[in-house]
Structure 1
Amino acid sequence: MKTTFKIWSLLALFSLSIGVISCSDDPEPEMPTIVNVPDTNLATQIRLALELEASAQITSEDMLRLEELTIDGGSDFSGTISEIADLTGLEYAENLTYLHFGSTKVSDLTPIKDLKKVEYLRMNNTDVTDLSPVSEYTTLTYFNANTARGITDISPLSKNTGLKEIILREVPMGNAGLNTIRNFTTLYRINMRNTGVTNVTILAEMMAAGALLDSTPGAAENGGATLDLRQLTVEDWSPIRPYLDQISNIEGVPAED
C-alpha cells in the first residue's frame, strides 16, 4: 500500500513538473515597439492624426494605422508645424499613402525612404535638395516640390510612371528634368514654371503619346489638362503648337507671330 502511494505521489510530482516546464516555455507576448519621434512637433501631429492622447507613447502598431499625414506649415497659426525639421519615426508608417510636409524645415528624406505605398508626396517650400532617398518609390500619382529650389535632379522620380500631377515650379531641373518625365504618359497636369527648360520637344512627344491633353485619363474630371510653362526661355514652341487646342489650361506659350 505504501509503495503504491509513493508511486502515485511521484507521478503527481512529475506531472506538476511537466506543467511548470510547459508554462515556462510559453512565449511571452510581444510588447509593441515604442517609436522614437525626436521632433516633438512632428510627434504632436502624428498623435493628432491617430487620435492619441497628447502624452501617449507612439507605438509601431499605432504607426501602421497611419495612412494620411498632412503637416502644412503654410497654414500654421501655432508657429510649431512650420518648425518641423525631422521626419524620423515615419519609417514605421508602412501603410502611409498621403504625405504632405510643405512649408516646413525638413531637408532630409531618409526616414521615409523605405515606404512602399506613398501615392501623394508634397514637399513644397522646404529645404530638400536630394530626392535620392525616394528613388525606389514606384506608386506616386502626385508630386509637389514647388519652390524647393535646392532640388536640381529629379531623376530619382523616374520609376513613378503612373504620375498624374507633378508640380515643379522654380525647381531648376532644366532640360534633363524633361528627360526624366518623358515616359510619364499618364500626366495631365504639370507646373514647370521657371525651371530652366529651354526645349519643349519632349513635351510634344509626351502629347503624341497621350499625355498632357484633355483626353488624358483623369484630366476631364479635374477641369482638363493643365500646363504652366511661364518664365521659360524657349526659342521654338512649334513642337507643341499642334496640341494647344486639346489643352484646356495652358499658360506661358506666346501667340504665334
Structure 2
Amino acid sequence: MKTTIKNFLMLFALVILASCSSDDDQIIDPVDDDVAQEEEVAIPDPLLSAAIKSELGLDENDDINAEDMLDLKELDVSGLAFAELSDLTGLEYAINLTYLRFGETAVTDLDPISDLENIEYLRFNNTAITDVSALSNYTSLTYFNANTVTGLTDISPLAGITGLQEIILREVPFGNEGMETIRNFTSLYRINMRDTGVTDLSVLGELMAEGALLDSTPGAADAGGADLDLRGLSIANYTPVIPYLDNITTIDGLPENEAVAVPDERLASQIRITLGVDQDIELTTLYMLSLSELNLDGGDD
C-alpha cells in the first residue's frame, strides 16, 4: 500500500513539473523586442525610401529598420520632385510621426498610414485620393489639407476628429451633406470650403454661435485671426453668419455688407420678421440679399 501511494505522489509531481515546463515555453523573451526593432522595414517606393533616409540622416545604401522609423517625426514628400511617389507602405512603422505632407503625388491609398494616430498636420492636396476612412482614428489632427482632391466626396470618416482647428477642402465636392461632418469641428478657426457645392450656411452659423470660426476662438489670434473662404458658392441665405462677421478677420466670397436704409418702419419690421431676425437688427445688404420673398398685403393667402 505504501508503495502505491509513493508511486502516485511521484507521478503527480512529474505532471506538475511538466505543466510548469509547458508554461515556461510560452514566456516571451524580452530579447525578441530588440530583434523586432532591428528588423529591416520594407519600403517599396524608392522615392519614399530615399526621403526617409534623408530625413533620418542615413546613407543611401543603409537599411531602414523599425527602430529608425521611431525617430521619424516629420516628413515632407510633396511637389514636383515626388510626383511619381505612389506607395506609402513602410510608414506604418513611423508611429511617432506628427507632420506628414505628400501633396501633388500619385498616392491613392491611405491604408498604410491608418494607425499613425499621433499625426497633427496632414496635407495631401492635389492627389487622386477618394477615400479617407483610414483617417477615422486621427484624433490628434489639428490641421488637414485636401485642397483640390476632387475625387473625394464623402468626408464623414473625419467626423470624430473634433480637435481640428484648420481644414482646407477647396474643390472637394462634399456639398451640404458634408456640412453634417463639419458640424463636429467646434475648435475650428479656419475653413476653406471654396467651390465645394455648399449652398446652406446654417452649420457655420451654429459653429459660430458655439464659439468656433471667430477671432476669439482659441488659437485664432496666433494664426492671425479667423479665416473663412466661401468663394465659388451659391448662397441664397447669409443670415446664419451675418451676426458674427465683425468677429472674423478674413472672409472671402461674401458680398459687401453695408447698411440699408428702410425709412418705412412697418416695411422694415416686416422684412425682419420674414428674415427671422430681431427687430433691433440693422438691415444690411447681406440681409436684403437673403430675402427671397416678402408678403406685404396683410392677407392669409
Write the mapping of 1:84-233 to structure 2, written as runs, cut at 5 A. Answer: 84-233=85-234
Q: How far 1:180 sits from its partner (Å)? A: 0.3
Partner of 1:234: 235
- The alpha carbon displacement at 1:26 in A equals 11
Corresponding residue for residue 48 of structure 1: 54
* Structure-2 separation of matches of 1:248 and 1:228: 11
CA positional deviation for 1:133: 1.3
Q: In structure 2, what is the Cα distance between the partners aligned to 1:232 and 1:138?
A: 29
For residue 245 of structure 1, what is the aligned residue in structure 2?
Answer: 246
SS of the aligned residue for 1:203 comes to helix
Partner SS for 2:104: coil
Q: CA deviation at 1:33?
A: 1.1
Contact 2:136 2:161 in 1 (8 A): no
Gapped regions of structure 1 (runs ≥ 5): 1-24
* 1:107 positional shift: 0.5
Write the distance in 1 (CA, Å) between the matches of 2:73 and 2:60: 20
Partner of residue 44, structure 2? 38
Contact 2:215 2:221 in 1 (8 A): yes
SS at match of 1:216: coil
Give the Cα–Cα distance (whole angstroms) in 2 for the partners of residues 160 and 118 of structure 1: 12
AA in 1 matched with 2:71: R
**Structure possessing the higher relative contact order (Cα contacts under 8 Å, 6 or more residues apart):** 1
TM value normalised by structure 2: 0.73
SS at match of 1:46: helix
* Alpha-carbon offset, residue 30 of structure 1: 2.0
What amino acid sits opposite 1:111 in the alignment?
A: P
SS of the residue aligned with 1:239? coil
Q: What's the counterpart of residue 17 of structure 1?
A: none
CA distance in 1, matches of 2:167, 2:71: 27
1:105-127 CA deviation, whole Å, 9 max, x = no partner? 11100100111211111010111
- Identity value in percent: 58
Deviations 1:36-93 (Å, cap 9, x if unpaired)? 10000110000011110011111000001001101121xx4xx4x1110100000000
Amino acid at match of 1:48: S
C-alpha change, 1:65 and 1:205, in structure 2 (3 Å) is: same
Q: 1:26 to 1:151 in 2, by over 3 A?
A: closer
Equivalent-residue separation in structure 2 for 1:55 and 1:122 (angstroms) = 29
Q: What value does the CA root-mean-square deviation take over the aligned residues?
A: 1.6
Confirm or deny that 1:61 pairs with 2:62: no
- The count of aligned residue pairs is 228
Letter in 1 for 2:60: A
Q: CA deviation at 1:183?
A: 2.1
- Report the Cα distance in structure 2 between the residues aligned to 1:104 and 1:228, rounded to whole angstroms: 25
